[in-house]
Amino acid sequence: MASGSGETPPRSCKQAPQAGRPRTVASIRRLVLRLATANPSWGYRRIHGELALLGIAIAASTVWEILKTKGIDPAPHRATTTWAAFLRSQADAILAMDFIETITLTGQRQYILAAIHHSGRRVRILGTTAHPTHTWVTQAVRNLIMDLEDAGRAARLRFLVRDRDAKYPALIGEILSAAGIATVLTGVRMPRMNAITERWVKALRTELLDRALIWNQTHLRHALREYERHYNQHRTHRSLAAAAPLRARPQSLEHDRIERLTVRRRDRLGGVLHAYRHAA
């Protein structure tokens, strides 16, 4: 037919393949999102560079597209460190402190001052008093610093987390600062900012104070010493993979020893606390 007839020539039944960039494999997309989540300060070019070190050749624009598709903001908007992330990243350098109140059978109110290391979960009970004056608290903190220095741990600590209780004098900030430890104050009525200490306080009440009749201050101090020893040397912790702060998790028993298993219970504080050990 003549070309000037005005009719459109028929198209071929088979379409030519469309040119374009192939879709990024799912594993690379997951890795990009993983890097962005774990490193809030990394922009898409920094993530692209890390992928290149792993031998993954994709365009920087592809990384940007993956992040944009998932609604992940650019690095400057993701770089703010959350409180939980700060606690996790600095756990080995953080000590937390708190007061616990209890009442003895004589009706006297007692104040317990304790500190706990975030990473190792070791607890130090600094003392008890019916009158937590600034002088008493200051001396307790001085004793804590000397104890940490004697144990060779003071140099590793950088932060002390506590609430804004008026029982803490301003002087302890200077004492801690001289030891290279900065004071981090929690928000008003925000106990979750000192969550590790709050969990320990709950354990202390559940396992000791709510189950024992405390006669007086002398009896309270004795009970606290026993609980501190039990907590640090025997009680297991999920965050420590079932180890104790001052005792590593033992090796699993061989099958033949399990068949001849003999376990004995050791009581503390008249049976308030139980500890189980293999018979000698």
Domain coordinates in residue numbering, the chain: 23-78, 87-240
Name every residue whose Cβ is closer than 8 Å to that of residue 120 and which is 6 or more positions away in sequence. 92, 240, 245
Backbone φ/ψ region at 234: left (φ over 0), alpha (ψ -120 to 50), beta: alpha
Are 220 and 103 in contact by the 8 Å Cβ rule? The answer is: no
Mean pLDDT of 22-51: 85
| Confidence class for position 8, pLDDT limits 50, 70, 90 | very low
Mean pLDDT of 239-248: 88
DSSP 8-class letter at 117: E
Averaged pLDDT score across all residues of the chain? 86
Residue 26 tokens, joined: 């799912």
Helix (H, G, I), strand (E, B) or coil at 18: coil
CA angle 133, 138, 142 (to 5 degrees): 150
* CATH number at 87-240: 3.30.420.10
Mean pLDDT of 261-276: 88
| Confidence class for position 251, pLDDT limits 50, 70, 90 | confident
Rounded CA separation 74/241 (Å): 36
Q: Which residues of 175-204 are buried (b: 16+ CB within 10 A; e: fewer)?
A: bbeebebebbebeeeeeebbbbbeebbeeb
From 182-191, 206-215, 221-230, the region with the lowest mean pLDDT: 182-191
Q: What is the CA radius of gyration of the chain?
A: 30
